[in-house]
Each structure stands twice: as structure tokens, then as C-alpha cells.
Amino acid sequence: MTSISGSTVLVTGGQRGLGKAFVEAAIDLGAATVYATARRPQPSADPRVVPLALEVTDPSSVAALADQARDVSILVNNAGATLRKRLIDTTVDELRDLLETNLFGVLRVTQALAPTLAANGGGTLINIHSAMSWIAGAGPYGVTKAALWSATNSLRIDLAAQGTQVVGVHLGYTETDMTAILDVVKNDPRELAHAVLVAAENGQTEVLSDEVSRHFKAALSGPVEGLEFTLVDGKVVGKHASAAARRA
């Protein structure tokens, strides 16, 4: 585990939504420098926040990032994309495009910066998954996040020898641009980012950041039907558990 105080942190997708919240939380916890990436980065009024350009689907952009950020000890892979369609209605090309960001983009950045983390004492890698990694009916987005969850668990083993702590983060709906159109109960991104960084600093390897993620992680040990969900008063709940509660 790596102390955040005095560290150099890099957050992909760090200029809006949850990524911006991670940048602010890292500063609040004492990070010396935070690289905040975006496709078209904007300047920051805080000298501790350094904007960097990054397109995670472009190998040359990732290579340039790695060359600029040689002092990173904490990497937060937050950048992601979504596609709200049923999987059966999603073309292979659409799914491939989504995987380019949500899986291959994370792997590109991780592979490029893993030597830097090793050179700086091992450091910490934090990958942002989703409770949709486990929830049935999450469509193409869920497929990509399930793949990322698997990749993170493999990376934890792969990077152990170089002393890198690998942390997987699961969360339900969170207040970001991506979820703005959804009429559901959402997490506060600032509270969530702070809690994740503190958990990582305390040595956790998996963070279940809300009741949604805790419920569906527990449901993995039961029948697959337990992974179906529904909305009750704007909250994501297990479909069959909800039905049982209504019958009781």
C-alpha cells in the first residue's frame, strides 16, 4: 500500500465526473501532484493538479503519457464509456468499440505505467469497475466491466512480484455526466472517491463502495437468477429478493 500524502497520483478521465472527484480527494489527502487526464485537457488553477492529454484507445497517446508521468506512484484507471442497449441488439463492432475504452484502454495504460510504478517502489493501481460487472441484464456495458474485473484480478497476481497493490472498485449508480439522464438514487462522487482512496491506503484490494455492490457481490454465491435487478423507489435492488420481500 502507498501513502497518498506526498505521492504523485494519475487519474484517467480526471477532469469531470468521478475522475474529477478522485483528483480533488487525492489533493485533500495530501498528494503532492495529481495528473488529471482528458482528451482535451483544460488548465487548472491549482498548481498541484497537472492536466495531461490522453486518449486511452490510442497507443501513441498512452506512450506519450507514460513518458511524461515518470514519477507516478498511484494510478487510478477511471476513464470509461457506456452504451445503453440490450446485448442482443448490440453489434459486435459496437461492443468492440466499448471494449477499446473500458478494457483495452485500461490495459494499455496499466502496461505502459507498470514499469513506472515498479521503479517508484511498487505503488498502487486502482481500477474502477461497476456493480454492473455482476448484475444480469447490464448489456454491453456490463460485459466490458465484467471483463475488466477479471483483468484486474489477473493483474493483482501479475504485479505482486514488483510490489504493486492492485485495487478493484465496485459501485452502483454515481452522480456523473454518464448517469445524468437516469432517475435513480446515486452515490456522491466526492464521498465515494475519498472512501476509495482511504481504503486503498489502508491496504484493501477490493472496495465495495455501496449497498448495491455489496448486495450483488454476495449474490454471486447463489443462483444466477439472484443477479437480476429491478428499481424500487429509484434504488437498484435484487429482483427476486424484492419480490420475496413483497410476498412476506
What are the chain's domains? 8-219 (3.40.50.720)
Name the residue with cell 452502483.
Answer: 172
Query: What angle is formed at CA 27 by the lines to CA 23 and CA 29, rounded to 5 degrees?
Result: 115
Q: How many residues does the chain have?
A: 248
Q: Is the model's pTM score more than 0.75?
A: yes
- What band does 33 get if pLDDT is binned at 50, 70 and 90? very high
Judge contact between 123 and 215, C-beta under 8 A. Answer: no
Alpha-carbon dihedral angle through residues 153, 154, 155, 160, given to the nearest 10 degrees: 90
Q: What is the pLDDT of residues 55-102, one digit of tens each?
A: 999 999 999 999 999 999 999 999 999 898 999 999 999 999 999 999
DSSP H helices in the chain: 17-28, 59-68, 92-99, 106-119, 139-158, 189-201, 211-219, 239-247
Q: What number of other Cβ atoms are within 10 A of residue 40's Cβ?
A: 8
Reported as a pLDDT band with limits 50, 70 and 90, residue 244 is: very low
Specify whether the CB–CB gap between 20 and 36 falls below 8 A: yes
Instruction: Kindly report, residue by residue over 102-153, the tens digit of the pLDDT.
Output: 999 999 999 999 999 999 999 999 999 998 899 998 899 999 999 999 999 9
